[in-house]
Amino acid sequence: MIESAQPSRERLTELFLQYTRILSPFKHERAMADAVIGHLKALGVAVNEDRTGERVGGDTGNLWCVVQSEGEPHIVLGAHLDTVAPSDRIDPYLGEDGVFRNRFRTILGSDDKAAVAAIVHATELLKASGLPFPTYEILFTVSEEIGLVGSKHFDEKLLKSPFAAEFDSAGPVGGITVKAPSHDTFRATFRGQAAHAGVEPEQGRSAVQAAAKAIAMMDLGRLDEESSANIGIVHGGVGTNIVPDLCEIQGECRSHNEAKLAKVAAAMVDAMHAGAAAIGVDVDIALVHEYSAFALTGRSPVVRLAKAALTDMGLEPELHASGGGSDANILNARGLPTVNLSAGMLQVHSPDEHCSLDDLERLCGAALRLILMAPEYGPKGRASAVPEGE
């Protein structure tokens, strides 16, 4: 590795605290994007922004850039700029134990700002080295937290690299997600007949009761080693003395197997129709396929690159399957082989979210090695061929 390209713990701390102090819930990433654009522009890197924000009702588009040095781009490094919506203030600090936390009981924002800080600092280090390095690309998406919206609207043809690495998996640095599920969501609206609950309840048809019957008929939770289903939102009724004429439920199902996912989704839809029929109400169902599964083998060049980069740091790479989705699902589905690396963030989306400075330093080191080692594993690299017996 370039000798001068060693992560600075002081600079990583500065970047991470700056980024996490910026509120950037989905569809409101403008201030975060401007900070990142400013840092990259100061390095002489021109940042492009697409029109995703105006297309999805947000204030910011996806950002992408080419960090030009030697040759054509060899790898894309990716992360997202948005967070889930915080329920309180975000006031991050680095504790004496070397762990970043929030002083208030809400998210920290390390998902995914740890990744953004690591990628930006890796770029600072390579630019400051004064030495040649492989050309690479950066993609920072928006509205990832509400169904990978930014990546769905991004034109992947703008990227020229043969593979990509997302930094958006929870867990200590060293994990490599090579398999993630397909995901369907639905919104169902039950429409019944309102009536006074005490005077003439027999004149009403309860939309809430229909929804309850539908949910009771569903198989929810962990269905098997590859599949899950959940009802996450139930909303209906306006008063205890009124038979509710409207109830909406929202849910999802996931599976690493497309055929299984289709069966689970069909069973949930059948349950909703049966619940509506049992009470005599109508139901409108909107089922959406959010993204498709991906599965990379250990023979994939980008997997082998990720393993080599982590091993070079003295870490033991761990290949695993995830139950959640990421921008890697979208990029893989569009033909760009993409791994999703653990970014050191723990207990994300919760008031106990935290991230250690040690892991942030390791994440930046991983980004540097991925960039510097990528040419070896690309189509023309010496390590591009799969070793015999692997």
Q: Report the pLDDT value the prediction gives residue 1, as an integer from 0 to 100.
A: 75
- Reading the block at residue 193, the tokens are 């007949």
For residue 359, give the amino acid letter. D
| Residue 215: count of CB within 10 angstroms of its CB | 17
Q: Report the pLDDT value the prediction gives residue 382, as an integer from 0 to 100.
A: 72
Q: Domains of the chain, with CATH numbers?
A: 9-180+293-377 (3.40.630.10), 182-291 (3.30.70.360)
Angle between helices 301-312 and 357-377 (to 10 degrees): 130
Q: What is the residue whose two structure tokens read 């990583």? A: 12
Q: CB of 7 within 8 A of CB of 121?
A: yes
The terminus-to-terminus CA distance of the chain in angstroms comes to 26
Q: Report the pLDDT value the prediction gives residue 209, as an integer from 0 to 100.
A: 98
- The b/e string for 17-33 (b: 16+ C-beta within 10 A; e otherwise) is bebbebebbbbbbbebb
Q: What is the residue whose two structure tokens read 């892991």? A: 359
Q: Report the pLDDT value the prediction gives residue 389, as an integer from 0 to 100.
A: 45
Q: Residues with catalytic annotation?
A: 82, 144
- Reading the block at residue 268, the tokens are 């949930």
pTM of the model: 0.93
- Reading the block at residue 83, the tokens are 């967070």
Give residues with Cβ within 8 angstroms of 332, minimum separation 6. Answer: 294, 296, 338
Q: Report the pLDDT value the prediction gives residue 380, as an integer from 0 to 100.
A: 79
Give residues with Cβ within 8 angstroms of 277, minimum separation 6. Answer: none
Give residues with Cβ within 8 angstroms of 85, minimum separation 6. Answer: 25, 26
Q: Report the pLDDT value the prediction gives residue 388, as an integer from 0 to 100.
A: 44
Phi-psi region of 227 (alpha: psi -120 to 50; beta: other; left: phi over 0): beta
Q: For each of the chain's 390 residues, which pLDDT tens digit applies?
A: 777 789 999 999 999 999 999 999 999 999 999 999 999 999 999 999 999 999 999 999 999 999 999 899 999 999 999 999 999 999 999 999 999 999 999 999 999 999 999 999 999 999 999 999 999 999 999 999 999 999 999 999 999 999 999 999 999 999 999 999 999 999 999 999 999 999 999 999 999 999 999 999 999 999 999 999 999 999 999 999 999 999 999 999 999 999 999 999 999 999 999 999 999 999 999 999 999 999 999 999 999 999 999 999 999 999 999 999 999 999 999 999 999 999 999 999 999 999 999 999 999 999 999 999 999 999 877 776 655 444
Q: CB of 182 within 8 A of CB of 255?
A: yes
Helices assigned H by DSSP within the chain: 9-21, 30-41, 52-56, 110-129, 149-152, 207-216, 258-279, 301-312, 327-333, 357-377
| 329/152 Cα distance (integer angstroms) | 10
Q: What is the DSSP letter of 166?
A: E
Instruction: Annotate 189-211 with DSSP letters as a single string.
Output: EEE-B-EETTT-GGG-B-HHHHH
| 302/384 Cα distance (integer angstroms) | 10
